[in-house]
Protein backbone atom coordinates (compact mmCIF):
# COMPACT_ATOMS: atom_id res chain seq x y z
CA UNK A 1 0.00 0.00 0.00
CA UNK A 2 0.97 3.66 -0.23
CA UNK A 3 0.68 6.30 2.48
CA UNK A 4 -0.13 9.75 1.12
CA UNK A 5 0.22 13.01 3.03
CA UNK A 6 -1.43 16.20 1.85
CA UNK A 7 -0.88 19.75 3.05
CA UNK A 8 -2.78 21.83 3.92
CA UNK A 9 -5.65 19.71 5.18
CA UNK A 10 -7.93 22.75 5.31
CA UNK A 11 -7.70 26.40 4.42
CA UNK A 12 -9.87 29.45 4.00
CA UNK A 13 -8.69 31.60 1.11
CA UNK A 14 -9.48 35.04 -0.16
CA UNK A 15 -10.97 35.47 -3.61
CA UNK A 16 -8.30 36.20 -6.23
CA UNK A 17 -5.44 34.54 -4.37
CA UNK A 18 -3.67 31.28 -5.21
CA UNK A 19 -2.92 28.28 -3.02
CA UNK A 20 -0.51 25.41 -3.53
CA UNK A 21 -1.36 21.96 -2.21
CA UNK A 22 1.41 19.46 -1.57
CA UNK A 23 1.22 15.69 -1.92
CA UNK A 24 3.94 13.45 -0.49
CA UNK A 25 3.98 9.66 -0.93
CA UNK A 26 5.99 7.28 1.25
CA UNK A 27 7.22 5.27 -1.74
CA UNK A 28 8.06 5.82 -5.36
CA UNK A 29 5.03 5.60 -7.62
CA UNK A 30 4.65 5.84 -11.34
CA UNK A 31 1.24 7.43 -11.54
CA UNK A 32 -0.01 10.41 -9.52
CA UNK A 33 -3.35 12.09 -10.03
CA UNK A 34 -5.23 15.13 -8.77
CA UNK A 35 -9.00 15.03 -8.23
CA UNK A 36 -11.58 17.60 -7.22
CA UNK A 37 -14.72 16.94 -5.22
CA UNK A 38 -17.14 19.82 -5.17
CA UNK A 39 -19.70 20.01 -2.33
CA UNK A 40 -22.21 17.19 -2.59
CA UNK A 41 -20.61 15.82 -5.75
CA UNK A 42 -18.50 12.85 -6.64
CA UNK A 43 -14.85 13.05 -7.65
CA UNK A 44 -13.64 14.44 -10.96
CA UNK A 45 -10.14 13.96 -12.33
CA UNK A 46 -8.29 17.25 -12.88
CA UNK A 47 -5.04 15.91 -14.31
CA UNK A 48 -2.38 13.24 -14.28
CA UNK A 49 0.90 14.50 -12.83
CA UNK A 50 3.79 13.31 -14.99
CA UNK A 51 7.29 13.17 -13.58
CA UNK A 52 9.64 15.39 -15.51
CA UNK A 53 7.07 16.67 -17.99
CA UNK A 54 3.88 18.68 -18.19
CA UNK A 55 0.76 17.30 -16.58
CA UNK A 56 -2.02 15.80 -18.69
CA UNK A 57 -5.25 17.73 -18.10
CA UNK A 58 -8.80 16.49 -18.45
CA UNK A 59 -11.44 18.31 -20.41
CA UNK A 60 -12.52 21.44 -18.60
CA UNK A 61 -9.27 21.92 -16.68
CA UNK A 62 -6.35 24.06 -17.88
CA UNK A 63 -2.78 24.55 -16.81
CA UNK A 64 -3.16 28.28 -16.18
CA UNK A 65 -5.82 27.63 -13.58
CA UNK A 66 -4.36 24.43 -12.07
CA UNK A 67 -0.59 24.34 -12.57
CA UNK A 68 0.93 21.07 -11.41
CA UNK A 69 4.49 20.14 -10.62
CA UNK A 70 6.02 16.71 -10.15
CA UNK A 71 9.75 16.98 -9.57
CA UNK A 72 10.24 13.34 -8.54
CA UNK A 73 8.44 10.02 -8.04
CA UNK A 74 7.21 10.77 -4.51
CA UNK A 75 6.06 14.39 -4.59
CA UNK A 76 3.62 16.61 -6.48
CA UNK A 77 1.96 19.99 -6.05
CA UNK A 78 -1.30 21.40 -7.35
CA UNK A 79 -1.87 25.15 -7.39
CA UNK A 80 -5.36 26.58 -7.56
CA UNK A 81 -4.88 30.00 -9.15
CA UNK A 82 -6.95 33.18 -8.92
CA UNK A 83 -9.50 31.47 -6.73
CA UNK A 84 -13.22 32.17 -6.77
CA UNK A 85 -15.97 30.74 -4.52
CA UNK A 86 -16.66 28.12 -7.21
CA UNK A 87 -13.24 26.63 -6.44
CA UNK A 88 -14.36 25.69 -2.92
CA UNK A 89 -13.85 21.94 -2.96
CA UNK A 90 -11.89 19.07 -1.59
CA UNK A 91 -8.77 18.47 -3.65
CA UNK A 92 -7.39 14.95 -3.47
CA UNK A 93 -4.10 13.46 -4.52
CA UNK A 94 -4.06 9.82 -5.55
CA UNK A 95 -1.46 7.32 -6.68
CA UNK A 96 -1.40 3.96 -8.36
CA UNK A 97 0.60 1.42 -6.38
CA UNK A 98 3.64 -0.45 -7.66
CA UNK A 99 1.56 -3.47 -8.66
CA UNK A 100 -0.26 -1.17 -11.03
CA UNK A 101 -3.69 -2.08 -9.74
CA UNK A 102 -5.00 -0.41 -6.61
CA UNK A 103 -5.37 3.37 -6.46
CA UNK A 104 -4.91 5.11 -3.10
CA UNK A 105 -6.04 8.56 -2.01
CA UNK A 106 -4.73 11.14 0.38
CA UNK A 107 -6.90 12.67 3.08
CA UNK A 108 -7.69 15.60 0.86
CA UNK A 109 -7.31 19.37 1.14
CA UNK A 110 -10.55 21.19 1.93
CA UNK A 111 -10.50 24.69 0.47
CA UNK A 112 -13.10 27.35 1.16
CA UNK A 113 -12.87 30.53 -0.91
CA UNK A 114 -14.52 33.62 0.55
Instruction: Tell which residue, 75, 106, 64, 87, has the closest CA to residue 11.
Output: 87
**Complete edge-to-edge strand list for the sheet that includes strand 19-25:** 4-7, 19-25, 75-80, 68-72
State which residue, 8 or 82, has the beta carbon closest to other proteins.
8
Give the nearest distance from C-beta 82 to other proteins in angstroms: 25
108 binds other proteins (CB under 8 A): yes
Task: Pick one of 74, 76, 89, 94: the residue that binds other proteins (CB under 8 A).
Answer: 94
| C-beta of residue 56 within 8 angstroms of C-beta of residue 47 | yes
Task: Pick one of 14, 39, 42, 60: the residue that binds other proteins (CB under 8 A).
Answer: 42
Which range touches other proteins (CB under 8 A), out of 14-22, 69-77, 78-86, 99-107? Answer: 99-107
Task: Pick one of 34, 76, 106, 111: the residue that binds other proteins (CB under 8 A).
Answer: 106
Could you give the CA distance from residue 112 to residue 110 in angstroms, rounded to a whole number? Answer: 7
Amino acid sequence: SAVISQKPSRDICQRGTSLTIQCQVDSQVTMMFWYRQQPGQSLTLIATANQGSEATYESGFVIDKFPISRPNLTFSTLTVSNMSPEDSSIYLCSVRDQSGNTIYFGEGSWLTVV
